[in-house]
A and B are shown apart, each in its own frame.
Chain A
Amino acid sequence: MASAGVVARAEFALPPALEAAEPPEARGLPRDGVRLLVSDLARDAIEHAHFTDLPRWLEPGDLLVVNTSGTMNAALNATAADGEEFELHVSTRLSGGFWTVELRVPGAVASLPCRHARVGATLRLPGGGQATLLAPYPLGTSLDAASRLWMAALMVPDGVPAYLARFGFPIRYSYVKQPWPSSMYQTVFANEMGSAEMPSAGRPFTPELVTRLVTSGIQIAPVLLHTGVASLEDHEPPYEEFYRVSPETAERVNAARRNGHRIVAVGTTVVRALETVTDEHGMTAAGEGWTSLVITGERPLRIVNALITGLHEPHATHLTLLDRVVAAAGGDRSHLERAYAEATKLGYLWHEFGDSHLIIGSSARRSCTA
């Protein structure tokens, strides 16, 4: 019984050629020109299309839920008292005004993880700012434990968001070979800054595509979830993140579900936000706060039954979540493995500038009337 599914099975290796090293625009593609892998679970089919073909798999009344969080310039150059150079990644604002941060060291192409910082260390930041490491994060571990993540006090002029906009730069991992302008890290839906890393599932949407969706009768509703730093090198589960689901969105989610339409999460961040505010009967409520929810085999999805996402790391906890979406969409347990095998074979691109994956089943409407 492998209810966790893919994580146990798919220890596939990701060849470097499948890592998107630059935005599609640098390859001459519009944002919605990236490829779209479609897991059409109503037919147990795997199809290959482009993102601009998305409306083909949706029906009037289906509800796309998007994340409106904007990507901060979350990386800062930092210098320790002894002169050692670091890169500080500002992750999540905690209640009480402290922040979780990741401390990294400069590398040849991009920064690398580092664990040799100690509690109490104070780092100098550009423009007269300062960061003090208060405790290893998550809290509760020994204060002198080696840690990658920290709870920190940031003392910067004009508040953290404005300060980052001025002195920071977008977080970048080594598969992206060089810096890109921060506008490349914003989705068309972004209206409130706060994510450490781009909620990248929304990146392929363009104003034209959104217009086509809306005029076809597809609904779009906003939620907010500020992403923290990913843990690409460490394969940790996601930590707490700030979210907000408005009463209007909760109402539309419930209405869509009641009418048998599909709830399509645009990104795993949206899954996290919506599932946090949905009870065991599948009723979604408004809510705001920090969520630590992790979708596991023991916690099936309550409301989301379709997903638009990128292609995920072999070990990522996200794959468990994808398995749950496949199950919620009525798919076979082996589907994800087959879909990923095809994506790998056909050269789909991974990561935030890469290709997309739609996981979707039949709507309750269609199965009732078929």
Chain B
Amino acid sequence: MRETNRVALVTGASRGLGEVIARVLAAREYDLVIGARGEEGLSRVRDQLGERRRVVAIAGDITDAAVRRRWIGAAEDLGGLDVLVNNASELGGIGPLMTFDVQRFGRVFPVNTGAPIALIQLAMPLLAARHGLIVNITSDAAGGAYPGWGPYGASKAALELLTRTLAAELRDQGVSAVLVDPGDMRTRMHQEAFPGEDISDRPLPDVTAPFWHWLFEQDREAIRAQRFVAQQQDAPWHQPA
């Protein structure tokens, strides 16, 4: 038996991918702090997972410093922090750059790029104490130059560079940071990106569960600064090894 519990914080955990990540962590016997704006979804996830583990749900916007402090405070109350998953993201509207309202950068970059860094800053003492793992969710749009996906892709590209920089800077503190591209999935965000289109051919975010189980089993030093594609066919987590 472990002498201390393990604790994870997952943002954007009220539905979709964040909910799947929280579920995997609960199955792996992590206590959880879950955050999202949607209070109703968050309570539902807490009620589902709370039977097995201690789960603290705190609704709020990731760009709000007070909310971030409450999340980290809740992790501290649970005993510390082993894993921080920055999953909450903002699509910021899909459409050509020529008609993009540049005011909207004011939301996309703070949510997708700034807030994760701010949350990491706040979490660092707890993460360092447990040689923790930071997981930042990215997208193939970060490198794809997909028409219409410019602002979202740019914010994720920035997050990718910052994450790799962070991984190098945090080496001495024994904290690892990785990037995860979950791939196309049938989530609300994906539906927002394709309004009115049938996206039922995309797999549910549950398709990434084998990856998350695999990831949380890895030696954190060994995966430092790596970028993973969760649905990659020939990846180790899909092989009989």
Contacts and interface: CB of A to CB of B under 8 A. Distances in A.
Interface of A: 22-23, 25-28, 31, 177-184, 186-188, 203, 205-208
Contacts, number: 53
A208 B214 CA distance: 17
B237 interface: yes
CB-CB nearest 7 A-B residue pairs: A25-B210, A183-B238, A26-B209, A28-B213, A188-B240, A178-B204, A31-B240
A28 B212 CA distance: 9
Interface in B20-60: 24, 27-28
B239 interface: yes
Given A28-B27, A28-B28, A178-B203, A187 B209 contact: no
23 contacts: A25-B209, A25-B214, A25-B237, A26-B213, A28-B27, A28-B28, A31-B240, A178-B206, A179-B207, A180-B207, A181-B207, A181-B233, A181-B238, A182-B233, A183-B234, A183-B239, A184-B210, A184-B238, A186-B240, A187-B240, A205-B240, A207-B240, A207-B241
Interface in B187-232: 203-204, 206-207, 209-210, 213-214, 231
B24 A203 contact: no
B83 to A, nearest CB: 15
A156 to B, nearest CB: 21
Nearest to A179: B203
A25 B236 CA distance: 11
Contacts of A183: 233-235, 238-239
Contacts of B241: 206-208
A186 B238 CA distance: 9
A181 B239 CA distance: 11
Nearest to A108: B200
Contacts of B24: 28
B204 A26 contact: no
Interface in B60-113: none
B49 to A, nearest CB: 14
B53 to A, nearest CB: 14
Nearest to A183: B238
Contacts of A26: 206, 209-210, 213
A187 B241 CA distance: 10
Given A183-B234, A203-B240, A205-B240, A23 B203 contact: no
